[in-house]
């Protein structure tokens, strides 16, 4: 048998589908599992023991409407995948991904029931699963879709992310080169939306106070360059800033930490997959959907009544500003 999983989206979006892929592969160990993901997210699926082949979804033709885009991309999609799959499982299940599924020749196509004005796109699936639970961690939703395709249900929804031995040594090399000894707290300032980013002045105060009692490694990504320069200018003895790293290099550095403090982003999901303690700072996004809150995962939010709103930008960002440095330090003390 062969199965093709599909998910467009960012790093965290793909990573949170991996528990469902794992249970599917464990249920059907002889099934060859392929996964098609966007270029950025595909890196997170490399070296996954439950995925036999990662296929990059090469999205193109952005200047035309989506229905034309799918038609134009169809030859490339068909060329990149196998001629036939026994299962096609669409974790995204939007009207766009439903149209994309028309390029996949499969005996059984599974997707979530599309409702509202776009419900006519359910015709592309042979099995539309109506997941009615709301306000639950998104990984459970993906698990339910895999179960609807015949996988055996499991409670363990820990994301699957595996570093190679060589990648692990790269991370070790960063600590050795910087002569970092003893426990480390990581902080990550990144956020895909402006509205999801905790204010820089809060980060600077937190980093200063943390560095008085523990080593701090600052992780960053594209778009953070200006903020990182300000962190460097603080010239704090126990604060170490990573160089510009690729996704898996960053994860290898992260794997040696004790705790990660970060905004709601893909790095937090990677840390959870690596078994680190995490503190997530949530503003516009819904922590009930995007955080598995447990003894190793703390979520901090403000009391602003307008959140969560899912707005990518906001004129005042008071929901993020309302998370105090003191509350973050108190949460960190539980893990340090």
Please, what's the b/e burial string for 266-304 (b: 16 or more CB within 10 A of its CB; e: otherwise)?
bbbbbbbbbebbbbbbbbbbbbebbbbeeeebbbbbbeb
Task: Specify which residues 186 forms β-bridges with.
Answer: 217, 260
pLDDT at 4: 98
pLDDT in tens, the chain (336 residues): 999 999 988 899 999 999 999 999 999 999 999 999 998 899 999 999 999 999 999 999 999 999 999 999 999 999 999 999 999 999 999 999 999 999 999 999 999 999 999 999 999 998 999 997 667 899 999 999 999 999 999 889 999 999 999 999 999 999 999 999 999 999 999 998 999 999 999 999 999 999 999 999 999 999 999 999 999 999 999 999 999 999 999 999 999 999 999 999 999 999 999 999 999 999 999 999 999 989 999 999 999 999 999 999 888 889 999 999 999 999 999 999
Residues 250, 221 contacting (CB under 8 angstroms): yes
* Fold of the CATH domain 165-333: Rossmann fold (3.40.50)
- The full DSSP string for 17-44 is THHHHHHHHHHSTTSEEEEEEEHHHHGG
Query: What's the pLDDT at 135?
Result: 76
| CATH class for the domain made up of 2-148 | alpha beta
- What is the pLDDT, as a whole number, of residue 40? 84
* pTM as predicted: 0.94
Q: What pLDDT does residue 241 have? A: 97
Question: Which long-range CB contacts under 8 A does 289-292 form with residues at least 24 apart?
Answer: 289/135, 289/136, 289/137, 289/138, 290/12, 290/137, 290/138, 290/264, 291/137, 291/264, 292/137, 292/139, 292/157
Respond yes or no on whether the N-terminal peptide bond of residue 30 is cis (omega within 30° of 0): no
35, 53 in Cβ contact below 8 A? yes
Structure tokens at 185: 């707290």
Going by C-alpha positions, the residue among 280, 274, 239, 283 that lies closest to residue 262 is 280
Residues of the chain within CATH 3.40.50.2000 domain(s) are 2-148, 165-333
Q: Which two tokens stand for residue 304?
A: 């602003």
Neighbouring C-alpha atoms within 13 Å toward the C-beta of 103: 23
CA pair distance 89, 312, nearest whole angstrom: 29
- The rounded distance, in Å, linking the Cα atoms of 204 and 228 is 10
């Amino acid at each position: 048998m062969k199965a093709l999983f599909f998910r467009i989206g960012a790093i965290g979006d793909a990573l949170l589908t991996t528990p469902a892929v794992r249970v599917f592969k464990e249920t059907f160990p002889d099934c060859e599992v392929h996964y098609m993901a966007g270029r950025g997210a595909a890196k997170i699926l490399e070296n996954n023991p439950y995925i036999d082949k990662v296929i990059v979804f090469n999205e193109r033709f952005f200047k035309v409407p989506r229905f034309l885009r799918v038609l134009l991309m169809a030859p490339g999609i068909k060329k990149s995948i196998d001629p036939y799959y026994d299962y096609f499982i669409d974790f995204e299940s939007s009207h766009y991904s439903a149209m994309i599924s028309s390029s996949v020749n499969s005996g059984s196509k599974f997707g979530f029931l599309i409702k509202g004005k776009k419900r006519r796109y359910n015709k592309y699936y042979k099995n539309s699963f109506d997941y009615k639970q709301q306000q639950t961690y998104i990984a459970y939703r993906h698990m339910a879709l895999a179960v609807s395709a015949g996988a055996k249900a499991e409670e363990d929804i820990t994301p699957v992310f595996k570093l190679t031995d060589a990648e692990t040594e790269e991370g070790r090399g960063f600590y050795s080169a910087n002569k970092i000894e003893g426990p480390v707290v990581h902080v990550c300032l990144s956020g895909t939306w402006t509205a999801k980013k905790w204010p820089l002045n809060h980060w600077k105060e937190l980093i200063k106070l943390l560095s008085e009692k523990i080593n701090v490694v600052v992780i960053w990504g594209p778009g953070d360059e200006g903020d990182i320069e300000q962190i460097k200018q603080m010239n704090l003895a126990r604060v170490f800033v990573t160089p510009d790293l690729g996704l898996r290099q960053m994860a290898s550095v992260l794997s040696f930490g004790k705790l990660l403090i970060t905004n709601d982003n893909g790095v937090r999901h990677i840390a959870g997959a690596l078994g680190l303690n995490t503190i997530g700072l949530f503003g516009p996004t819904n922590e009930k959907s995007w955080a598995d809150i447990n003894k190793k995962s703390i979520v901090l939010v403000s009391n602003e009544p307008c959140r969560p709103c899912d707005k990518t930008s906001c004129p005042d960002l008071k929901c993020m500003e309302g998370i105090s440095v003191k509350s973050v330090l108190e949460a960190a003390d539980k893990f340090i």
